[in-house]
Amino acid sequence: MAEKPYDRLDGVIWYDGRLVPWGDATLHVLSHGLHYASAVFEGERAYGGEIFKCTEHSERLKRSAQVLDFDIPYSVAEIDAAKRLVLEKNGQKDAYVRPVAWRGSEMMGVSAQNNKIHLAIATWQWPSYFDPVQRLKGIRLDLADYRRPDPKTAPARAKAAGLYMICTISKHIAERKGYADAMMLDWQGRVAECTGANIFFINDGKIHTPIADCFLDGITRQTAIELAKKRGIEVIERRIMPDELTQFSECFITGSAAEVTAVSEILRVLHHRQRGRGHGGVRDRALEIHARRHHPATHGRLHRRGAAQGQEEGGLIRRRGSVDWDTRWRADAHDCGACAAIIASPMRTRRAPRPSAPTLCAVTRAPSSRRCSSSASVSGSLSPALRQSSTSRARCARLNSSMTRRAG
């Protein structure tokens, strides 16, 4: 986190074709981009003076603008040159690079046919996106309430400012609860990505990652896939349902800012059951019974949430006659440790020993009830001792260094 606010940093910013002092890079309050989110941007990193995948980022910036129906009045080569110039003038070798393009002030309404298109490029020092201490241990993820939208609802694959509204809300909620970030599902309830990074899982030496058809197919994601394949590691891009998470042994996320970061835990993972098939499995029952017996307050809330969700989704699911997964049984670890222990499905390391009886509730540290221990592996896996192995963190460090070696 910068000590000064970002508008008070020192240096120069490239603004519509010329370098201006940092504090002079301003825009009018009646800018279309501010009111109607007609803005696109990039996040890039320079390592040792070279911008990682510089041209790919400039190309994506241009493509994102076209998706929002505007053309950035600079070529990819001009944008590349401008980014390098800012870095040089700011005397930075390792830095974050932020190009942003937006519609100006000529028209102020939904329509903005004649608005000038602006482009600015700033660079600053940003050593770690996540708290370095958390990052060393592997970050903890919450589960976001918001979902990545259907690509027919929003231009999901553009790096457009408007798409980050739900990301900021979700990340704030996660941070308030002590998590580093939030994992988001897609509009159909499948695992999608994080608020500013793509997500990967490992099982049996194979990498699994969601198909990037309704969220950003990150440049770091593509690089990680390419590197893994070159090393003979199988990468499976597929639909991943949240209830599969317990089967994975490792998890990491990728992004220009996040780089490659190991995930130690995904909390508040949903308890899922298929609609139209009556009650689900043991964990469904365990949560229900446990909540009813021991936690009337939480039970009430679960029911209220469940009812609302059911009403909202039920019709749609019935109409389509398709199978979906519901998010009916949610609990918050901070509200009810025992219930959360039943439904939480953090990453588990295969080498870690299974907890011997009596199983301790991961959150309350009290011995779990028989209901709790019916999902002993799940509650036990919350124990800090069982969190992600150093193997995974070392793997992420290696991947980061392969990428930074390839910068440019």
Q: Which residues are catalytic?
A: 159
Alpha carbon 303 to its chain's center:
28
**Which residue's entry shows tokens 């349902």?**
241
First to last CA, the chain: 26
Q: How many residues bind ligand PMP (CB under 6 A)?
A: 16
Among 43, 99, 210, 380, binds ligand PMP (CB under 6 A): 43
The one among 99, 104, 196, 280 contacting ligand PMP by CB under 6 A: 196
Interacting stretch for ligand PMP, rule CB under 6 A, among 190-198, 203-211, 314-322, 391-399?
190-198
In the block, residue with structure tokens 């995948």? 53
CA–CA separation, 23 vs 21, rounded Å? 6
Residue with Cβ nearer ligand PMP (258 or 382): 258
Q: CB of 180 within 8 A of CB of 134? A: yes
Between residues 215 and 329, which has the closer beta carbon with respect to ligand PMP? 215
CB 324 within 8 A of CB 318: no
- DSSP 8-state assignment for residue 388: -
**Does residue 355 touch ligand PMP according to CB under 6 A?**
no
Report the residue number whose CB is nearest to ligand PMP.
218
The answer to whether residue 295 forms part of the interface with ligand PMP (CB under 6 A) is no
Q: Where are the beta strands (DSSP E) in 86-167?
A: 95-103, 117-124, 139-148
CA distances from 340 to 59, 173, 242, 302, 335 (A): 44, 17, 15, 12, 8
221 binds ligand PMP (CB under 6 A): yes
Cβ proximity to ligand PMP, 185 vs 338, nearer residue: 185
Distance of CA 100 to the CA centre of its chain: 21
Q: Which is nearer to ligand PMP, 179 or 215 (CB)?
A: 215
Select from 219, 263, 340, 361 the one that contacts ligand PMP (CB under 6 A).
Answer: 219
Letters for 138-177 (x = contact with ligand PMP by CB under 6 A, - = none) are ---------------------x-------x----------
The correct pick among 13, 160, 197, 263 for binding ligand PMP (CB under 6 A) is 197
- What does 244-288 look like in DSSP terms, one character per residue? GGGG-SEEEEEETTTEEEEEEEE-SPPB--BTTSSS-SHHHHHHH
Position among 142, 193, 284, 326 found at the interface with ligand PMP (CB under 6 A) = 193
Residue 335: CB minimum distance to ligand PMP, A: 28
- Positions that interact with ligand PMP (CB under 6 A): 43, 159, 167, 193, 196-198, 215-216, 218-221, 254-256
